[in-house]
Structure 1
């Protein structure tokens, strides 16, 4: 056999080998396109952006074979109906907050945030290393879902009010947009809670349909313009000390993915979870200064209000624990960790932070 003939046959053999190998590669990295419905408008680059982080990472890591198309609130379904869209097969995934669906069952809220629960670091510790993801998925699996943390805002602000709120009496009859079942706690104090999607809050506040609203914190709140119609900005948002945003996937679709795609979703979701909190921590300080410069008046909830709300929350929890075994199982797990968590927070983090805050207030930083 001459050299030219050998090289030609060798080249053909190589081509045949790669042709034969292609189906195996294609089978292990199939081309899949999912749709994800977000509960948030595109204008909120922080919280809406969490889904974009997931989508970008998944597509790049799979060489473009696994694509997740992100749709803002209202593009496929309204923001507060995205979990239903996954459950009924309209979309494969959604990006939302579990407490939006507490009306179906209050257990939905526990994976996200409930009044006087954990802060952001505590929630992440509990989810990733305290069995929280597994416990929450025991509940979600019965709804046909699989959930992964997909963001955290950090402790939120207490909201925007048209008038000052100095006593518990001032809450009576107040119509307030408040997420999750924090509204159920505040109902005990006479407040009238309203659940309104993010994009619809400003018109309701401007028209006087509601008297107050909470959303997230300075950066997002400035974008939504609440300071223009409600000057008093209260803190802290005791009902959302560390709210976890979630990706809810169709359990059936998730289990049908190749193992490497499943692992990729876990990795990308955890990256999106961290990224969101980092963005808020970076953007909130400057936004707060801008709000104050524009006339926003910062106010702390009084100790009387905080204590009354804490007591009311415990009454609500006692009733739910007595009547809902799934709620009790997850809430008891959170409470067990909460006792030790805040002791540790006080010892190191709080004392360091308090000293540094004092130095900052004296202009030494």
Structure 2
């Protein structure tokens, strides 16, 4: 009797009695690399990828190992999409709006000026049509996306000189991430897209006049207060920027159903980690910055109004020339209108009252 017949007819007890051990195929260990767009020194925005990697390893019993590589280790900060698309790495952790030069729709997966706040962005992605629409778009780049964190509304950045009106923006060279630069340009500014690790020397040398990054916790680490005294708010171009994990489609589809579930769960953990950590750490950092002499200022109202008008005009122009943008933005815009109506009666009213109280 051959081996196959023994196994088929005898059952486990019979097989063992016959001294024939059934073949056991252990699942092969998986090794992935994630290229980050951020330096290790920024423990929260970079750290979200480390949280993801740790969760994947723990949930898989060590069989699924993910290594995280800071910007510049495997590829430049702004080269990570090409790396995932080409399969040079299995994944990336980045801010999608960095890549709006490929297609403006990358910005919709992260943040656009006067867009959704962080809670609204998560709601659009998870419960609205956001994830479906963005995955349809990213499929054209051999990428599948997962939420990878949110910073919450950001600060408006550091300025070497005071901004008293929109007129002061004319000719101003500012490091501004993603899509916001297109609107800044329309109100007279000169946008510069510079990786986080290179901002300080550019601001110190006067190569740029202003720079934004995230908020007090990161900005204090990067030392911007040492070379620019004015700290403006709010970051109207980043009301709720979502970071993403981008995975190579072929690498992701090769995973078992169990490992796909692990990836999904781990990205959700990383997503919550990032904003909760920023929300916890930003208040103390802001107090320290102001205590050390930082001059906190709101953007002038005429600048905010001019930027809003130009942003809406830009979106209309894109509707006319970019079919993918038109399709995704139509859904985004409707969702934003409904969310703002709801938040008007709830979040905004509650927050405004609470922030006026002495606790």
Q: Does TM, scored on the shorter chain, surpass 0.5? A: yes
Q: Name the residue aligned to 2:260.
A: 262
Q: How is 1:168-179 mapped onto 2 (pairs within 5 angstroms)?
A: 168-179=166-177
Q: Name the residue aligned to 1:138.
A: 136
Q: Name the residue aligned to 1:320.
A: 318
- Equivalent residue in structure 2 for 1:69, among 63, 67, 70: 67
C-alpha distance in 2 between matches for 1:92 and 1:198: 23
- Equivalent residue in structure 2 for 1:336, among 334, 337, 346: 334
C-alpha distance in 2 between matches for 1:78 and 1:325: 30
Q: How is 1:144-183 mapped onto 2 (pairs within 5 angstroms)?
A: 144-183=142-181
Q: Aligned pair 1:59/2:57, yes or no?
A: yes
How far has the Cα of 1:131 moved from its partner?
Answer: 1.7
Q: Aligned pair 1:231/2:229, yes or no?
A: yes
Q: How is 1:81-100 mapped onto 2 (pairs within 5 angstroms)?
A: 81-100=79-98
Q: Aligned-pair RMSD on alpha carbons?
A: 1.5
C-alpha distance in 1 between matches for 2:85 and 2:128: 27
SS at match of 1:125: helix
C-alpha distance in 2 between matches for 1:148 and 1:166: 40
C-alpha distance in 2 between matches for 1:222 and 1:119: 23
Q: Aligned pair 1:32/2:30, yes or no?
A: yes
Number of residue pairs aligned between Structure 1 and Structure 2: 346
SS at match of 1:245: strand
How far has the Cα of 1:22 moved from its partner?
Answer: 3.4
Q: Name the residue aligned to 2:116.
A: 118
How far has the Cα of 1:21 moved from its partner?
Answer: 6.3
Note if contact 2:166-2:300 (Cα within 8 Å) is conserved in structure 1: no
Note if contact 2:146-2:246 (Cα within 8 Å) is conserved in structure 1: yes
SS at match of 1:249: strand
Q: Which runs of 5+ in 1 are unaligned?
A: 1-9
C-alpha distance in 1 between matches for 2:230 and 2:23: 66
How far has the Cα of 1:279 moved from its partner?
Answer: 0.3
SS at match of 1:20: coil
Q: Name the residue aligned to 2:273.
A: 275
How far has the Cα of 1:88 moved from its partner?
Answer: 1.4
- Equivalent residue in structure 2 for 1:308, among 296, 301, 306: 306
Note if contact 2:155-2:215 (Cα within 8 Å) is conserved in structure 1: yes
How far has the Cα of 1:248 moved from its partner?
Answer: 0.2
Runs of 4+ in 1 over 3 A off after TM superposition: 19-22
- Equivalent residue in structure 2 for 1:108, among 106, 109, 115: 106
C-alpha distance in 1 between matches for 2:205 and 2:313: 34
Alpha-carbon displacement from aligned partner over 1:205-254 (angstroms, at most 9, x marks no partner): 01111000000000000000000000100000000000000000001111
C-alpha distance in 1 between matches for 2:153 and 2:278: 10
- Equivalent residue in structure 2 for 1:20, among 4, 7, 22: 22
C-alpha distance in 2 between matches for 1:303 and 1:344: 24
TM-score (norm 2): 0.94
Q: Name the residue aligned to 2:215.
A: 217
Q: How is 1:236-251 mapped onto 2 (pairs within 5 angstroms)?
A: 236-251=234-249
How far has the Cα of 1:13 moved from its partner?
Answer: 3.9
Alpha-carbon displacement from aligned partner over 1:173-225 (angstroms, at most 9, x marks no partner): 00000011211111111100000000000010011110000000000000000
C-alpha distance in 2 between matches for 1:63 and 1:200: 38
SS at match of 2:116: coil
